[in-house]
């Protein structure tokens, strides 16, 4: 199980690095810009979680994550820039990455004795912060704040499901699968049916 989580984590790093590269491409960045944005997108969420919990930063303890993120970015740069890919191709792997990072983040926070609400917030941060950094570096308003298809909402629902299931004394493994399933189902249903949240339109 441990082993499975580790490998799935590496896949999630590769997938989110890929989304970073695609976004950096829209800004005509050079190779260095693309690599920095790709790595930051892939490792940003977990790094923030580890800093806030005062844990050793995960990619400094085991640099496999860094190698995977770099290799994916360079490979994409070499291949993707000469391909024409439909953006929607990445929605499913991106949702899987979101589910994995959210659940990993929440579990780590619970292990480090964070109270439950704070743990769910840390889970959401782990899931979405890489994308926020990507958008800030590309000088956009972060997409998760605007595009409504229940991105952070899916993440929060899954984190709370995991915490609820653990409070019911379910085994951690089952609780993790439950949480991941909820993230995926909420996110994919929202994409399929264009479900969005209400928007704040200030009248000032």
Tokens of 51: 């800093």
Task: Name residues contacting its own copies, limited to 38-57 (CB under 8 A).
Answer: 39, 47, 51-54, 56-57
Among 87, 111, 173, 174, binds its own copies (CB under 8 A): 87
Task: State how far the alpha carbon of 22 is from the alpha carbons of 27, 76, 77, 93, 128, in Å.
Answer: 9, 9, 9, 14, 17
DSSP 52-97: HHTPPPHHHH-THHHHHHHHHHHHHHHHHTTS---GGGGHHHHHHH
Among 2, 30, 168, 169, binds its own copies (CB under 8 A): 30
Burial tier of 32 (Cβ tally within 10 Å: 0-12, 13-18, 19+): exposed
For residue 198, give the DSSP letter.
P
Instruction: Please tell me whether residue 200 binds its own copies under the rule CB under 8 A.
Output: yes
Q: Which of residues 146-175 bind its own copies (CB under 8 A)?
A: 146, 148, 151-153
| Residue 93 binding its own copies, by CB under 8 A | no
Residue from 3, 88, 115, 169 that binds its own copies (CB under 8 A)? 115
Question: What does the alpha-carbon distance between residue 182 and residue 71 come to, in Å, rounded to a whole number?
Answer: 31
Residue 23 corresponds to which tokens in the numbers above? 């976004």
Q: Say whether residue 145 binds its own copies (CB under 8 A).
A: yes
Closest CB to its own copies among residues 48, 180: 48
Give dist(CA 201, CA 187) in Å, integer.
24
The CA distance from 3 to 37, in Å, is 28
Per CB under 8 A, the list member of 138, 162, 163, 188 interacting with its own copies is 138
Choice from 13, 45, 59, 165 touching its own copies (CB under 8 A) = 59
Which residue, 4 or 86, has its beta carbon nearer to its own copies?
A: 86
Binding site for its own copies (CB under 8 A): 21-22, 24-34, 36-37, 39, 47, 51-54, 56-57, 59-60, 63, 66-67, 70, 77, 80-81, 83-85, 87, 114-115, 117-118, 121-122, 132, 136-142, 144-146, 148, 151-153, 196-204
């Amino acid at each position: 199980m441990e082993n499975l989580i580790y490998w799935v984590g590496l896949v999630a790093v590769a997938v989110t690095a890929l989304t970073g590269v695609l976004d950096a491409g829209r800004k005509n960045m050079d190779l260095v810009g693309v690599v920095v944005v790709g790595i930051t997108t892939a490792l940003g969420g977990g790094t923030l979680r580890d800093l806030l919990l005062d844990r050793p930063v995960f990619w400094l303890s085991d640099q496999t994550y860094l190698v995977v993120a770099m290799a994916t970015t360079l490979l994409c740069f070499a291949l993707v820039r000469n391909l024409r890919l439909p953006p929607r191709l990445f929605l499913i792997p991106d949702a899987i990455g979101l589910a994995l990072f959210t659940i990993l983040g929440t579990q780590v926070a619970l292990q480090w004795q964070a109270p439950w609400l704070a743990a769910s917030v840390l889970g959401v941060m782990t899931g979405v912060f890489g994308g926020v950094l990507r958008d800030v570096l590309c000088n956009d308003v972060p997409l998760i704040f605007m595009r409504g298809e229940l991105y952070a909402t899916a993440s929060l629902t899954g984190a709370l499901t995991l915490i609820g299931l653990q409070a019911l004394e379910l085994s951690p493994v089952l609780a993790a699968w439950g949480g991941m399933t909820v993230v995926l189902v909420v996110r994919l249903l929202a994409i399929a049916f264009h479900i969005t949240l209400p928007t704040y339109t200030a009248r000032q």
